[in-house]
Structure 1
Amino acid sequence: MTVSCRCGTVVFEAIGTPILSVACHCESCQEAGRRIEQLADAPPVLDADGGTAFVLYRKDRIRCVGGGERLEAHRLKPESKTRRMVATCCNSAMFLEFTKGHWLSVYRDRLPEGAPPLQMRVMTADRRKGVELPDDIPNYATHSGKFMWRLLSAWVAMGFRVPKVQGVPA
């Protein structure tokens, strides 16, 4: 699977089946999405309902194969363990990384073809006031047991390793 910024300068290669395809409605994702969308000519980050759609991959199954030097970290707070990487060439949000985690949350719109359908919405208790979510997929007020199980299962399969993503600045 190819993952790329809008202009094609930053390119990732992802192999294997993703861990999960999810939309997050937490306050942090909403705030980060608003901030990134304010960058010059940035493509949308937030969905119409205020959620942020991600495809989660194991860190050992994704690597930057071009343009990694164009990635810039955005953090809500300087001390945050979570960084959102943006391609400075076109201000495309590429991924969210919990730096101590074993997975990478790729912004779903960065998978130009073949993005898996959403499987669930999480943190819906934080959604914007007045937003009614459809019941086409499960909507969880927090991180569901199924969400956590999928992450834990992937970590077990990785031998409890937490690798760095190849080709991405530290």
Structure 2
Amino acid sequence: MPKSITTLRCACGQFSLEVIGDPFSASECHCKSCRSAAQRLSTLPPAFPIAADNGGVPYALYRKDRVRFPDGTTTLTEFRLHDDAPTRRVLTTCCYTPVFLEFESGHWVSLFTGLWPEGQRPAPRIRTQTGDVPDGETLDDSLPAGTLTTAGFYAKLLGERIAMGFKSPKITVKEKIDA
């Protein structure tokens, strides 16, 4: 049976991307990097909030071979927390819609779930990097988290890498933004 194709658009509609099928994972990340980037990017006129109310950042993870850019990537810009950061967040230049997070040499992209219309967003199934939650803040237990959950998450990433034949397609973004 063919997989469904979902078209996602930026807030102003100038940029779109297509995802094939469902994400292989949906997570809420609480690492210092995601929290800091969400806070810094909130200084731009964002199309939607990046972080959840609890400070975590919800993502839908797709293999790169399941994400297409029918209109190209010319309207995208990257943001890094610092010049040698191994991750980049990619936004549109037209309306600063957050699109995805990418790890250098990664075989997947973590799409910001705010790209989906309300009610259609992939719901997080796990929390990752909860050890980075600031002291004094607590998370509810509505999602699995912790060492075993994180180990399973990384095992799933490895399984998807194997399924892609260890390929890691490049997504070229020419512009950079500072926030």
Does the TM-score normalized on the shorter chain lie above 0.5? yes
The answer to whether the Cα contact below 8 Å between 1:9 and 1:66 also exists between their aligned partners in 2 is no
Amino acid at match of 2:137: V
Distance 2:135 2:43 in 1: 22
Q: Taking structure 1 as reference, are residues 57 and 80 closer, same or farther at Cα in structure 2, changes over 3 Å only?
A: same
Structure 2: gaps (5+ residues)? 1-5, 175-179
The answer to whether the Cα contact below 8 Å between 2:48 and 2:114 also exists between their aligned partners in 1 is no
The answer to whether the Cα contact below 8 Å between 2:11 and 2:47 also exists between their aligned partners in 1 is no
* 1:39 Cα deviation from its structure 2 partner: 0.8
| Over 4 Å off, 4+ runs | none
* Alignment correspondent of 1:140: 146
What does 1:13-92 correspond to in 2, within 5 Å?
13-66=18-71, 68-92=73-97
Distance 1:63 1:76 in 2: 26
When the two chains are superposed, the root-mean-square deviation of aligned CA atoms in Å is 1.9
* 1:142 Cα deviation from its structure 2 partner: 8.9
Instruction: Give the stretch that moved more between structures: 133-142 or 20-29.
Output: 133-142
Distance 2:100 2:35 in 1: 14
Q: How far does the alpha carbon of each residue in 1:54-84 deviate from its partner, in whole angstroms, 9 at most, with x for none?
A: 0000001101123621110000111223110
**Sequence identity, in percent?**
38
* Alignment correspondent of 2:3: none
* 1:149 Cα deviation from its structure 2 partner: 0.9
What does 1:113-124 correspond to in 2, within 5 Å?
114-124=120-130
The answer to whether the Cα contact below 8 Å between 1:124 and 1:139 also exists between their aligned partners in 2 is yes
Distance 1:142 1:99 in 2: 25
Q: Taking structure 1 as reference, are residues 118 and 32 closer, same or farther at Cα in structure 2, changes over 3 Å only?
A: same
The answer to whether the Cα contact below 8 Å between 1:122 and 1:142 also exists between their aligned partners in 2 is no
* Alignment correspondent of 1:12: 17
* 1:92 Cα deviation from its structure 2 partner: 1.2
Distance 2:61 2:126 in 1: 12
* Alignment correspondent of 1:2: 7
SS in 1 for 2:85: coil
Instruction: Give the stretch that moved more between structures: 101-110 or 138-147.
Output: 138-147
1:93 corresponds, among 83, 95, 98, to 98
Q: How far does the alpha carbon of each residue in 1:7-57 deviate from its partner, in whole angstroms, 9 at most, with x for none?
A: 222111000231200000000001111111101355311111000000000
